[in-house]
Structure 1
Amino acid sequence: MATDVKDVKILLVDDEPLERQAIRFLLARERPGYQVVGEAGNGVEAVNQASRLQPDIIFLDIKMPVMDGLAAGQEIRALLPEARLIFVTAYGEFDYAREAVSLGASKYLLKPVAGEEMLPLLDELAAGIAAARRRLQETTRLRAALEETKPFIRLGFIMDLINGNISEDEAVSRARFLGITALPRIALLMDIDNFVTLAREGTEVERQILKQQVKEVLEGATTSWPGALLAPVTRDEFVILLPLDHLPGGEASRRAVIELGDSICRQVRRDTRVTVTVGIGRPVEKVTELARSYAEAAAAAEFRLLYGGDQVIHADDVIARSNVEQLLQGPEEQELTQAIRMGDSQAAYERVNNILMQLFLEQEKRPAILKMKLLELNALTARAALEGGADADAVSNLALASSDEFLTLDNLADMRERILERLMALVGQVAETREQRNSSLIDRAGKYIEANFSQDLPLEEVAQQVYLSPCYFSRLFKQFKGLTFIDYLTRVRLKAAKELLLNTNLPVAEIAARVGYHDARYFGQVFKKQEGYTPSVFRKIGGANYGRSVS
């Protein structure tokens, strides 16, 4: 017998001991691998034995005292839903047999039980049991493997949140899968102070040990915050994403987050040989806006170059803590920020050139604050690049390099040259990232149009599907597809209409409705304008120009 039956357990239930003995004898002789783990003489005993022994297969006599086999089968089925039930009945009791089958019996046998019927049935049931066990083992193995990958899935989830690469529904779904009950609404960035110097002085092993020490401190510091998410983002930075659902909001939430940041600074200082700067972004209403909070946290952390490390810097406080005129207040700076976010190198170059000219003109009156303003400009451009989707590591490296140069260069011409050089590099990073992201979004929009062209499909609806404003979406769509939204939708609809005209006998009016035109006359006008023929003529001539008109 090919089936492995050594672990298949059988319970015999019959009020006639001779019947039980006959089955036991037959199994011992023909199928010694099966284990008869118990016997019962009535339904009550059967239920008790089944509960205690957990058999895989149960022979149940239908006609028994105290509790018959059908009633016992109902109770056993509730206790052991995976058990296989074989009902045994005397000749002439087919009504009982039919009821047994309705209870989920694997089969029923007639008394006296014949080996040529019972043994193949048992072998079939044993094979099913073995297959079910293998499936269970495989499922258990896959679940265990999935549990092992959860940390990586969690990290990917955090990175998608801070990069803005996730929709609300997807965030909710992935959070549920990861066991996250409250979605985060604020971002903190922990930057290891002077890590570049430490990296030059130590070995790679020492650097990794140091990062692990900081990570463990951060994990300990956030254990009391329900739902906190922690992840490394660069070689010297960590991000913490926090839900705020358990807090009353407003100033209380702000104080709680700042207190957490202060606690992190103290514990890192106490338990490691380094310090950290904690940048805090502003809270957001939707989880899809976390990228903005993260960008604000990163920009706030940059101000350690002005105020020193080993402290908490909140995005709201960066402006308030400076006694000099803020760059963010002027329209020129706002236009610069927008140009960087859009990856518009020409506009960004012009704006920063104007800002630098104004700063250099003022430097004779206030030379002491020139470098501080240049650092603010550096932070502004870095933040704008992050908000535009540029790689955080690349932005960090460029911003740090710029800050170091600003503090050492004394020649205004050199400063201007370096600033413009770094700015173009930042804008290049944004443009590259946006090009990839926008291409992906427009591809998604195109697929949505092709799947829904038969319905009313306004531009605003498609723009909403890819989370872009209608105006920006319209411009991007034309840029990547080479057609306006309406022209593209018309092309898709007419392509479908041509196929229906050539391959079906549907009336033109019905075809018009199927491809999204409620007015058959208007459909005919659009069709003739694009193809040179009315739909009826096109069908009649067999689409002579079809190959040329469809790209």
Structure 2
Amino acid sequence: MKKVVLVVAGNDCFVNMLEKIKKNTRFQFRVKRLLSLDDITWHKDTEYGPFITFFDMDHLKNESRVVIDYMKRHHKAKRFVILKDYFLNNEIRHFFKSGAFDCLQKPVGKESIYHLIHEAMNSVQDHSNSRQNQQLMKHYQSSVKVSLAYDLIFGNVKHAKKIWERSQLAGLSRVPNIAIVICIDDFYRLMKNKSKLWEQSVRNRVIEAIRKYFLHEKVREMLVIITGPEKIVVLLSIPVENNVQTYKQASIKYSQQIKKYINKMIGYTVTIGIGNYYEDARNLHLSYQEALHAQSYKFFTGNDAIIHIDDIEPYTNEINFLPNKEILIMANKLTVGDVEGVKAHVEVILQIVFSQTNMNPKSFRLVMLDLLSTLSRSAVSGGAKPSEVIAIQLEYAKELCLLEHVEQIRQWFYEVMNHLLEQLLTNHNEQVLKSVQKALQYINTHFTEDVTLEKVAQYVHLSPNYFSHIFKKTTGSSFIEYLTYLRIDKAKTMLMDLNYTIYQIAGAVGYHTPRYFTRVFKSLNGMTPSTYRNSMLVTKVTNKSKSS
């Protein structure tokens, strides 16, 4: 788009001269004439506003004060030229102080205007180039900062002089000496179902909050980089102190303020790990590793914390802490669907497992995954559908990797148990009912034979102990009680027929000797089989007489 030359004048002579000059210059511009200052519309965008404005002060002689105020407001972005037949003492100086680009006494020659327009055009180009150079320099400095920060935390720079030279290029007056790792709490759960663009915007907002804090504190000696989806590293240059403890206190103070600032600005909590102070920047990668290690202790401390490396103990990789006996008992309870038994043993296991305070988080998660696998196998053994249990196991295994501290894992474990129990009981009840029904059919058919609990359990493909448990839970009677009631009930029917002797009846209902049959019968009915037969026959004869 062509640049605009604006003329505020009362006659056409100056405008006509500009039109002639336009034909002989390499610059493309158009001339616009106004009769009054009231007609000027200010444009902040220099692509659309006039790049040079001529004020004919003889035409605007009663508005000198207005012109001066106008130039003072807009002189940073525009070029103003004052035209006048005669300038009073110090008047030109006054116009220049107010922001004038030039002051020309009329009449003005064509050559003077030609050079003036070229000079104005060149100043526009110089201003644009200067702004571009500043942007390039800013971009270059930002790149230098990022590359320096990464080289420092990974120990890629071995010469102190190079570190100092690159620090100066990055705009630092001191070399960084402490690393701080800032972790956005619950990042993966917060970003669930969110786009990568959204994740990036969250990180950028956190970085912006960090930079604004340091800008507010007038701290320039710092570098900020991203080292993970939820991790941001700040390399600080804390001024030389008398002792190491002072460096620790200063870094903690900065971290506390950063944490508050981030929470206030964007509403997220962060956990911050702090490494030790290293005077030699070539060792800054050690401070970074320490800060990472300190930050990982949020696994035990929970979110929204500040952890200095000096305040923690080294992790232990010892994983033989699980109460295997209790886990085995719980697995067996889960297999038989004993909900209350499972819950009771869960509490015992959790108390032992979560009493660990310096287990390596990776090892801790591996142990919990192993426990999840054990519970899943027990659920399948108890009758849960394998396909559904596998789906549950995969879902919770993925979720475990995203959990950040032990309290979240404790809640996760409760959810796992409830989900597996629900799945187990849903399929377990149906499976149990089918097994018991099949067992009852077998018992009703073979009760006259030598029927044992082991034989029936084998018939329905269950262990004797488990079969005994579910049989009583389903029928309300133990296997022996049910078999005894069934046999005695059949015997009562046969006793009404005088064609059967007590000996024959005992053998017919599964008892090898009449004496044992009589003892069992009497224990259940309070009388011997013979007495029972006589009493039933007398009752039957009496009823017939009454009916006659």
TM-score, normalisation: structure 2 = 0.37
TM-score, normalisation: structure 1 = 0.37
Higher CA-based Rg: 2
